[in-house]
């Protein structure tokens, strides 16, 4: 389905909706690695792809540049931002701090019913997560924790960080052994146990260790990929 600038929407809302749609689709393509890190992006090609003028494409690229997902190439166009090992380390360090803070908020503010909603993450059922598979399950668990923290700013920062780290996960997923999946699910279950028992310090320690371990795995995978290249 092509996007069109001739919409039946009111004149004031149609251009805004068009720009949001182009932005969201481009952002999803970058985060899902359909547009690979380092690949060039040209306004004209995107305008043709979405069947729109260059204006909404340019607006979307400028927003993505502010988010650090796109780089401007003078007199050439744009390029999808590469992912460096230093970037990965920074992201995981920030995520450790945010998820640790979430634990304290969840213990203090989440109701018993909300804590019970974590039960579905005690196991990974491939059929339940469709094409997204384990990555969708893992993302769902951490986004759910962010929601339960009942802090809108923290939730927004953390979910945005989780989204941006999706590229890192996808780039390294081929290096993760099948057996590691259950160990990650077990770590989730331990965090759930601590939260439901309202053991703040234990939950914080487990969450911090969980993210730190993930950072080491991803960093090692990216380092191996760099050596192969």
HSE (CB half, 13 Å, CA atoms) of 88? 24
What was the pLDDT predicted at 5?
A: 46
Over residues 195-204, mean pLDDT: 98
**Tens of pLDDT, residues 27-57:** 888 887 788 888 899 888 999 988 888 899 9
List the domains of the chain with CATH numbers: 13-80 (1.10.10.10), 85-228 (1.20.120.530)
DSSP 3-state assignment of 164?
helix
Bridge partners (DSSP) of residue 79 are: 40, 71
Q: What values do phi and psi take at 69, rounded to 5?
A: -95, -15
The pTM (predicted TM-score) of the whole model is 0.74
Given pLDDT bands bounded at 50, 70 and 90, which one contains residue 180? low
């Amino acid at each position: 389905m092509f996007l069109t600038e001739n919409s039946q929407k009111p004149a004031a809302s149609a251009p805004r909706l068009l720009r949001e749609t182009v932005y969201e689709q481009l952002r999803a393509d970058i985060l899902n690695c359909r547009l690979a890190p380092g690949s060039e992006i040209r306004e004209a090609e995107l305008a043709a792809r979405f069947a729109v003028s260059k204006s909404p494409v340019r607006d979307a690229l400028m927003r993505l540049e502010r988010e650090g997902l796109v780089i401007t190439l003078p007199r050439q166009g744009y390029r999808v931002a590469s992912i460096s090992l230093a970037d990965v380390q920074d992201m995981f360090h920030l995520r450790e701090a945010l998820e640790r803070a979430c634990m304290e908020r969840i213990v203090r503010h989440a109701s018993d019913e909300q804590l019970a909603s974590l039960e579905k993450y005690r196991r990974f059922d491939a059929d339940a997560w469709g094409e997204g598979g384990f990555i969708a399950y893992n993302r769902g668990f951490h986004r759910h924790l962010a929601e339960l923290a009942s802090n809108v700013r923290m939730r927004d920062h953390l979910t945005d960080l989780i989204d941006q780290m999706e590229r890192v996960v996808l780039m390294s997923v081929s290096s993760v052994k099948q057996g590691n999946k259950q160990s990650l699910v077990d770590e989730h279950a331990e965090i759930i146990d601590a939260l439901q028992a309202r053991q703040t310090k234990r939950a914080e320690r487990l969450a911090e260790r969980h993210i730190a371990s993930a950072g080491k795995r991803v960093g090692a995978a990216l380092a191996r990929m760099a050596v192969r290249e």
